Structure 1
Amino acid sequence: MNESHTDPGAQRIPQVDKMLRHPLIISLKNDYRHEVLSEVTRRVLANYRSPDGAKVPENLDDIAAEIESRLKKLRTGSLRKVINGTGIILSTNLGRAPLPQTTVDRLSEILLGYSNLEVNLQNGKRGERMTALTELLSMLTGCDSAIVVNNNAAAVVLAVSALSNKKEVIISRGELIEIGGSFRLPDVIESAGGILKEVGTTNRTRASDYQKALNNSTGMILKCHRSNFEISGFTETAKTADLVKLGKSHKIPIVEDLGSGALIDYSKFGMKYEPTVAEVISEGVDLVMFSADKLMGGSQAGIICGNSELVKKLRDHPMYRALRADKLTIAVLEQVLCQYLQLAPEKSVSVMQLATKSASELKSRAANFLAKAKIPHQYNVELIETRSAFGGGTLPGQSLESFGLAISVAGGTESKRSPDKLLTMLRSADPPIIAIIQDDKVVIDFRTIMPHDEELLLSSLEKLPTLPTNSNANCF
């Protein structure tokens, strides 16, 4: 009989049953189900067998401690608070728009119990979950009606399915965008049952191009705002007013994917002009779709507003049932939209607060922070000027003057001076600190440091030498 080759390291890996009899694991049986204890133990031991796995500890106590640590992390969940030091206001990786404090406070009250999601409290009969949101959106945008789905891509899918199934969707070649995760607008349209009809060229599309493409198979004209890239130079874009006139004369709906969804003109704060939802609706566009978690500053959702007859067609479509927003999303959006009823929403909507902070204010905050910080002597920290960005496919090319801290390691070996190593250490802090590298230094941009997080940041920077350099320190 042939003897199979056995990895000497694998012989030291204990059996699952043996680990389940360890005193520490036995003590956990009152907190965790047996099958959970067994499965987590199997996974920890399997990791040691993996070619890329960690070295097997000599002591069973260390293995048991790792099993306990894995269980605690599973129990508390992986989604956690982080400190955003990237300077990117709408970082998709970091959850995009932070919510206003007033919204969070109100949500805890609503979500701890039951709510009147679909109950009319005046007559006691079944109500419509979109009633309050529709009223708010009509006031803020001038729309007749509105619905909410789980994201803006879903809004496009629903609009195409309801209005242009097996019909042509006319769109400019210069607006065939690709969004995050390698999803492309042509694929989204075709997956929803629409037939893509490209017109114009990448840099120049006229209203006459749309007119020539109209036929008995046309379902809708889709205009897609280029919110995540720019085209400059020899360009031309069809005017919305001309497309609206064209749509009315041929009874073809004009639908605009506005993307970022600004409810306030950001140019009055010294930023690039971005058309607001109200401006687009006032031009006569039949339906406008936009993301709620970008410039609006809400949670992930796709908002569709405009002509009441067309909105009803979308609401009555079977797909809407699968895509409609739940009570959590509706509660968040209601509370965020309420902030826009105030005289100065930039003072309460978190995204606007972050975007409108002056460079001088940020410089003062960073300088005061540095003055009181007791940074360990082996680290060099200096105040620097930086450039912040919106991110999240919003306001392309727009950067904001900002200030932050640049951190580097003094002396030591090349590996210990590595900024990548320092980034890893910051991510292992509690809460994790997400920073960037510029000019071989780790940079923390103060534009995206929330004021209430400064003490947490200060504590972590003062404890830098004690932070783990293991990239798995905060991972499952």
Structure 2
Amino acid sequence: MKKKIVVPSITEMLQADLAQDLLLNYPRNLVVEHFRKAADISRHQQLTEEAEPKTVSELINEAKRTIEAAYQPTLVRVINATGTVLHTNLGRARLSSKLREELVDIACNYVNVEYTLETGQRGSRYDHLEQTLTKLTGAEAALVVNNNAAAVLLSLTTLAQGKEVIVSRGELVEIGGSFRIPEIMTLGGCLLKEVGTTNKTHRFDYERAIDEDETALLLKVHRSNFSIVGFSESVSLKELKEIGQEAGLPVMYDMGSGSLLSLQQHGLPEEETVQDALAAGADIVTFSGDKLLGGPQAGVIVGKKEYIERMKRHQLTRALRVDKLTIAALEGTLRQYFDEEQAIANIPTLQMLAVSDDVLKAKAETLCRLLSQHDSLAVRLEQGTSKVGGGSMPELELPTWLVSVSPKQMSVTDFVTELRHGKTPVIARTKFDLCLFDVRTITEDELSIVADEVAAVLS
């Protein structure tokens, strides 16, 4: 005898009281789609697995779970417990919490992004940032595009398309995402002219390479994500400027990770600032907004007005322009640099780099105490090192405090996997059979969240 298959109709499911909340909170077509999937699965199970028919309520609850999973945003907040301050995969720089209300207001309302309130006429979106950047850096003019790769591309295309750009062979870098200086030059229509060797480039290498008809630009690139040590030599920016002046050529400096202040007094090594680069004579300096600056993803171009005005008029600029949220986030971050102490206290990147050992240890002790409540964990406080990340200061190891955890009833692989799948995902690092929480990149208010997520995994 043929088995009878019992599956409620979609209409019956839609009319059920239990479905009404779903219809209020989710698009009707999405609800119908998942009701059909739940019904099809039940039908298949009855045919192949001798399963019992499911009630309307059971099918709706199954559909509800899949609807909620399908409708969740893919971009979610995570807790960075790795100790890498500028973690590229986790969004690099955290923005200052002081900007939260301002950014929400900008995001949810109309704003004067290209409108001049004084005259009632159309304005430029770049005016919102230029005055602040020129004040902070001492540059004549400034322009902001969507990242530093775009800043380099726009600068090269505007200043040297169809002409030669001279650069040291030791500075032909590749950064994350396979962004390579030689290939970006080709894309910008420039002719790359390498000088020197991998480890040594001299002043005379540039001087001999200059062709007064073909050379348009001298380019220096900061080796931000690697270093050359030992038998090496390079030409300083100041020397390169002297060469450029003698030949009547502009000098461009791609800093990559631009800093606006020194953190030497907080134990970090001396790092060249944007102001230093301009003072040394660079005509154009490009750098990232989301690295050591501590702002949103952006590419900042500062330097001589005559060159930047040409970039503003270039057709490529529109394709690379920033939106209102980037403008607001970068402007809010830059404003804090007018008071150096305020910047270090309120910009998370600077705060995490400058934080004292005492503060780190106190945070680690708090987390250690919270996690030690679980008998199924072996918890220990230990010293370790953090990384700056984002291709910045690659050799620098920052002393830090770690909370190491060894789960007794599950593997460390399963433990960190479950932490990633929690309500608020926690991204930690592992070492052998240990899970390591580096408190440098965990804020005070996140310590209890980490503890809650660990408790959820253990339960």
Q: Specify if TM > 0.5.
A: yes
Specify whether residues 402 and 238 from structure 1 end up closer, same or farther in structure 2 by C-alpha distance, changes over 3 A only.
same
User: Which one of the candidate residues 423, 427, 439 is aligned to 1:430?
Assistant: 423
Match of 1:32 in 2: 26
Letter in structure 1 aligned against 2:451 = L
**Equivalents in 1 of 2:251, 2:184: separation in Å?**
18
Q: Which shifted more, 85-94 or 17-26?
A: 17-26
Match of 1:9 in 2: none
Matched, 1:71 2:67: yes
**Equivalents in 2 of 1:262, 1:323: separation in Å?**
22
C-alpha contact (below 8 Å) 2:141/2:304 kept by paired residues: yes
Matched, 1:229 2:226: yes
Matched, 1:185 2:181: yes
Matched, 1:144 2:137: no
- Note the C-alpha offset of 1:22: 9.5
**Equivalents in 2 of 1:105, 1:309: separation in Å?**
37
**Equivalents in 1 of 2:380, 2:305: separation in Å?**
56
Match of 2:437 in 1: 444
Offset from partner CA, 1:360-405 (integer Å, 9 cap, x none): 2211221133234453211111111110010010011001110021
Specify whether residues 302 and 39 from structure 1 end up closer, same or farther in structure 2 by C-alpha distance, changes over 3 A only.
farther
- State the number of aligned residues: 445
Specify whether residues 308 and 89 from structure 1 end up closer, same or farther in structure 2 by C-alpha distance, changes over 3 A only.
same
Match of 1:292 in 2: 289
Letter in structure 2 aligned against 1:367 = E
User: Which one of the candidate residues 359, 362, 374 is aligned to 1:361?
Assistant: 359
Match of 2:78 in 1: 82
User: Which one of the candidate residues 298, 304, 309 is aligned to 1:307?
Assistant: 304
Letter in structure 2 aligned against 1:137 = L
User: Which one of the candidate residues 126, 131, 136 is aligned to 1:135?
Assistant: 131
Matched residue SS, 1:236: coil
Letter in structure 2 aligned against 1:183 = F
Matched, 1:317 2:310: no
Matched residue SS, 1:340: helix
Matches within 5 A, 1:241-390: 241-344=238-341, 345-373=343-371, 375-390=373-388
Specify whether residues 36 and 192 from structure 1 end up closer, same or farther in structure 2 by C-alpha distance, changes over 3 A only.
farther
- Note the C-alpha offset of 1:143: 0.5
- Note the C-alpha offset of 1:219: 2.1
- Note the C-alpha offset of 1:326: 1.1
How big is the alpha-carbon RMSD for the aligned residues of Structure 1 and Structure 2? 3.0
**Equivalents in 2 of 1:277, 1:63: separation in Å?**
61
- Note the C-alpha offset of 1:103: 1.6
Offset from partner CA, 1:187-218 (integer Å, 9 cap, x none): 11111211211111111111211121111221
**Equivalents in 2 of 1:67, 1:307: separation in Å?**
61
Match of 2:153 in 1: 157
**Equivalents in 1 of 2:208, 2:35: separation in Å?**
66
Specify whether residues 14 and 295 from structure 1 end up closer, same or farther in structure 2 by C-alpha distance, changes over 3 A only.
farther
**Equivalents in 2 of 1:301, 1:116: separation in Å?**
20
Higher relative helix content: 2
**Equivalents in 1 of 2:296, 2:338: separation in Å?**
18
Letter in structure 2 aligned against 1:108 = V
Match of 1:465 in 2: 458
- Note the C-alpha offset of 1:106: 1.9
**Equivalents in 2 of 1:245, 1:405: separation in Å?**
52
**Equivalents in 2 of 1:351, 1:240: separation in Å?**
27
Matched residue SS, 1:148: strand
Percent of aligned positions with the same letter in both sequences? 37
Match of 1:419 in 2: 412
Offset from partner CA, 1:162-201 (integer Å, 9 cap, x none): 1111211211111111111222221111112112111111
Provide structure 2 residue ranges, at least 5 long, that are not aligned to the other structure: 1-6, 43-48
C-alpha contact (below 8 Å) 2:367/2:403 kept by paired residues: no
Match of 1:397 in 2: 395
Offset from partner CA, 1:20-59 (integer Å, 9 cap, x none): 99996786344433443466678999999xxxxxx9x988
Match of 1:109 in 2: 105
**Equivalents in 2 of 1:39, 1:439: separation in Å?**
45
Specify whether residues 364 and 217 from structure 1 end up closer, same or farther in structure 2 by C-alpha distance, changes over 3 A only.
same
Specify whether residues 446 and 183 from structure 1 end up closer, same or farther in structure 2 by C-alpha distance, changes over 3 A only.
same
C-alpha contact (below 8 Å) 1:145/1:305 kept by paired residues: yes
**Equivalents in 2 of 1:211, 1:84: separation in Å?**
48
C-alpha contact (below 8 Å) 1:146/1:311 kept by paired residues: yes
- Note the C-alpha offset of 1:419: 1.4
**Equivalents in 2 of 1:338, 1:130: separation in Å?**
16
- Note the C-alpha offset of 1:16: 10
Specify whether residues 42 and 324 from structure 1 end up closer, same or farther in structure 2 by C-alpha distance, changes over 3 A only.
farther
Q: Which shifted more, 446-455 or 362-371?
A: 362-371
C-alpha contact (below 8 Å) 2:372/2:378 kept by paired residues: no
Matched residue SS, 2:122: coil
Match of 2:45 in 1: none
Specify whether residues 295 and 70 from structure 1 end up closer, same or farther in structure 2 by C-alpha distance, changes over 3 A only.
farther
Letter in structure 2 aligned against 1:377 = D
- Note the C-alpha offset of 1:126: 2.3
Matched residue SS, 1:396: coil
**Equivalents in 2 of 1:27, 1:276: separation in Å?**
56
Matches within 5 A, 1:14-53: 28-37=22-31
Offset from partner CA, 1:406-452 (integer Å, 9 cap, x none): 01122xxxxx5421111111112221110000232000000000112
Q: Which shifted more, 63-72 or 426-435?
A: 63-72
Specify whether residues 427 and 16 from structure 1 end up closer, same or farther in structure 2 by C-alpha distance, changes over 3 A only.
farther
- Note the C-alpha offset of 1:18: 11
Matched residue SS, 1:337: helix
C-alpha contact (below 8 Å) 1:172/1:200 kept by paired residues: yes
C-alpha contact (below 8 Å) 1:374/1:462 kept by paired residues: no
**Equivalents in 2 of 1:284, 1:70: separation in Å?**
60
Matched, 1:238 2:235: yes
**Equivalents in 2 of 1:185, 1:374: separation in Å?**
50
Provide structure 1 residue ranges, at least 5 long, that are not aligned to the other structure: 1-12, 49-54, 411-415, 467-476
Letter in structure 1 aligned against 2:369 = A
Letter in structure 2 aligned against 1:446 = V
User: Which one of the candidate residues 89, 95, 105 is aligned to 1:93?
Assistant: 89
**Equivalents in 2 of 1:137, 1:89: separation in Å?**
24
**Equivalents in 2 of 1:230, 1:177: separation in Å?**
11
**Equivalents in 2 of 1:429, 1:394: separation in Å?**
30
